[in-house]
Amino acid sequence: MSLQRADEKLKSDVLIGVGLRHQHFTEALTTPSNIDFVEVHSENFFAQGGATQSVLAQASEKYAISLHSTAMGLGSAQGVPSHYLQKLKQLASTCNPILMSDHACFSWSQLNGQQVHAGDLLPLAYSEQTLMVLAHNIDRVQQSLGRSLLVENLSAYIQYSHACMPETEFLVRLAELTGCKLLVDLNNIIVTANNINAAQPLDYAQQWLAEIPTTMVGEIHLAGFTEVKEGELIIDDHSQAVSSQGWQLYRSALERFGKIPTLVEWDNNLPSWHTLVAEADKARMIAEQVFGDNHSSKVTTAMTGLESEFIHE
């Protein structure tokens, strides 16, 4: 799907996509499916030439592309390395993505005078200092890319004692400071609710959504997690189908934010391509139920990624 076709479709429907992982490359390229876009992890396609670039080029002919980064480390005090940013910019110019995103986390630090990467998405303390670091790095990335970035909320496994604001306030202020949009991962909110022992996880998650202005959301992620015993920590492992709570929250999110592009993630214990597409079909069915056949609901203005709008100082 071309950028123009994706933009036209947005005006009448919700764009529905899936994460494209290497086990599904062949089927994704050869099997007809009702998928609007695929998300790839940017870092897997940084190498020049080779089989991965060929796959990406073929995928770009069939689907719109979303670049989801996992190693930018936007909240790192060390900043985003220039060599990383250059590779990301080159990749974006090659595949012309409709969306580009990463996480509200840090990853980079210094060890023995060398810049090192943690290999994970490390959580930020929601403080004024970390907010300014994150905002500065996002400004730099957006200026380099010439477009707005989507920033995803993390699932929580710890609570910082020195945090001075709730996650939603932190993310809203970030969007106000930088002009970025939010990638709202509904599964991450549910995981966090369970890990902090919220009495009613779904109520917690719906209140979380209610604290985000309707114009700030540019994408929604759906995923599932492995169930654990009561009192045990839930890991956001993307290894299961979307939970019933996830689908309920998705309906609430569409009702609040409008026709937001939606992606189904499934990264571990991968199902068949057919099963993954079936999950995307469930999302499309819910969107059709929410907006009706006449699509009379408002179209969100949050999809600045489709416009590739330039950021000006």
Strand partners, 161: none
Average pLDDT of the residues of the chain: 87
The pTM score is 0.87
Cβ neighbourhood burial of 4 (10 Å; 0-12, 13-18, 19+): exposed
Reading the block at residue 63, the tokens are 């689907």
Reading the block at residue 110, the tokens are 């210094």
Single out the residue of 121, 127, 203, 177 nearest to residue 154, CA to CA. 121
Query: What percent of the chain has pLDDT above 90?
Result: 68
Single out the residue of 178, 75, 84 nearest to residue 127, CA to CA. 75
Reading the block at residue 225, the tokens are 């997690």
H/E element, 285: helix 273-291
178-213 confidence digits (pLDDT tens): 999 999 999 999 999 988 888 899 999 999 999 999
> Given pLDDT bands bounded at 50, 70 and 90, which one contains residue 164?
confident
Show the CA angle centred on residue 242, arms to residues 67 and 301, nearest 5°.
50
> Given pLDDT bands bounded at 50, 70 and 90, which one contains residue 245?
very high
Single out the residue of 162, 187, 141 nearest to residue 279, CA to CA. 187
83-111 confidence digits (pLDDT tens): 999 999 999 999 999 999 999 996 656 66
Most confident range, picked from 141-145, 195-199, 299-303: 141-145
- Inter-axis angle of helices 244-257 and 273-291, nearest 10: 40
**What is the identity of the amino acid at 222?**
L
Reading the block at residue 224, the tokens are 């599932």
